[in-house]
Chain A
Amino acid sequence: SQTIHQWPATLVQPVGSPLSLECTVEGTSNPNLYWYRQAAGRGLQLLFYSVGIGQISSEVPQNLSASRPQDRQFILSSKKLLLSDSGFYLCAWSRVAGVQETQYFGPGTRLLVL
C-alpha cells in the first residue's frame, strides 16, 4: 500500500530563517506531487506541483521554492521566512493528473513563524 510522510510535524522558526520541509511517498512510482498551504479559515492553496524529477510548476509567486531530487521526494524550501509564511503545509500525491484520480494527503506540517 502507498503511504506519504511529512516532517517535521511542527516547526517554529524566526523571521528571516531558512526552511526545509520534506515529503516522501512509498509504495508507488512516478507519482504527481503537490505542496499546499492551508491558512486558518481558508481553503487549500496550491503552491507547487511536480509531474517528475526536476519538474516543478509554481502556482503562486512567493519566497518559497520546491525541488524534487528523487522520484518520491518533494521538498519545500525558503531562504528567508516571512511572518505570512505561517500556516499548515500539506503534501499530496496522485497517480496521474487524470480526472478519475483523487489526491492522497500527508499528515501536514504546522509552521509558525515568529
Chain B
Amino acid sequence: KQEVTQIPAALSVPEGENLVLNCSFTDSAIYNLQWFRQDPGKGLTSLLLIQSSQREQTSGRLNASLDKSSGRSTLYIAASQPGDSATYLCAVLDSNYQLIWGAGTKLIIKP
C-alpha cells in the first residue's frame, strides 16, 4: 500500500532564506508526483507536476525534484517571501490512478 510522508510537519524560516521541503513515498510504481499549495481554509493549487520519467520541474522560484528509485521528492523554494507561507502538500499518482497524499508541511516565512 502506497504511503506518502512529508517531513517536517511544520517549518518556520526568516524571509529571504532558501529552503527545502521533503516528501517520501513507499512504492516507486508511480505515474507522477505533484506538489500543491494550500492557504488556510482554502482549496489546493497545483504548483508542479513531475512525470515518473522526469527528474525535476521548475516554476519561478520553485524547483521540484524526483528520485523515483529512492522514493523521494524535494521542493526547493528560493529566496523565500512571506507570501510563500502556506501548507505544502505532496501527492503521488499510484498504479491504480489514485492520488495518495502526504499530510503536508506547514511553512511560515517570518518577515
Q: Could you tell me which residues of chain A, from 96 to 112, have a CB within 8 Å of some CB in chain B?
A: 97, 99-100, 102-108, 110
How large, as a class, is the contact surface on chain B?
20 to 34
Residue of A nearest to B30 (CB): A99
In the complex the two chains form, is B43's CB within 8 Å of A108's CB? yes
A105 and B43 CA atoms in complex are apart in Å by: 6
Contact A90 B44 (CB under 8 A): yes
Query: What is the minimal beta-carbon distance from A112 to any residue of chain B, in angstroms?
Result: 13
A43-B104, A97-B97 as given contacts; A104 in contact with B46, CB under 8 Å:
yes
- Which A residue's beta carbon lies closest to that of B98? A46
CA distance A53 to B99 in the complex (A): 22
A53 to B100, CA, bound (A): 25
Given contacts A43-B4, A43-B89, A100-B51, contact A90 B101 (CB under 8 A): no
Interface pair A107/B42, CB less than 8 Å apart:
yes
- The yes or no answer to B80 lying at the interface (CB within 8 A) is no
How many chain-A residues does the 8 Å CB contact rule pick out?
23
A46, B91: Cα distance in complex, Å: 12
Q: Is B32 part of the binding interface, using a Cβ–Cβ cutoff of 8 Å? A: yes
Chain B nearest CB, measured from A104 CB (Å):
7
Knowing A99-B31, A105-B43, say if A43 contacts B51 (CB, 8 Å).
Answer: no
A and B contact pairs by CB, cutoff 8 A, 27 listed: A4-B43, A41-B9, A41-B103, A43-B91, A43-B101, A43-B103, A44-B89, A44-B99, A90-B43, A90-B44, A92-B44, A99-B31, A99-B52, A99-B93, A100-B32, A100-B51, A102-B34, A102-B46, A102-B49, A105-B36, A105-B43, A105-B45, A106-B43, A107-B43, A108-B41, A108-B42, A110-B41
Interface residues of A (CB under 8 A from B): 4, 6, 41-46, 59, 88, 90, 92, 97, 99-100, 102-108, 110
Q: 5 shortest A-B CB distances, which residue pairs?
A: A43-B101, A105-B43, A99-B31, A105-B44, A102-B46
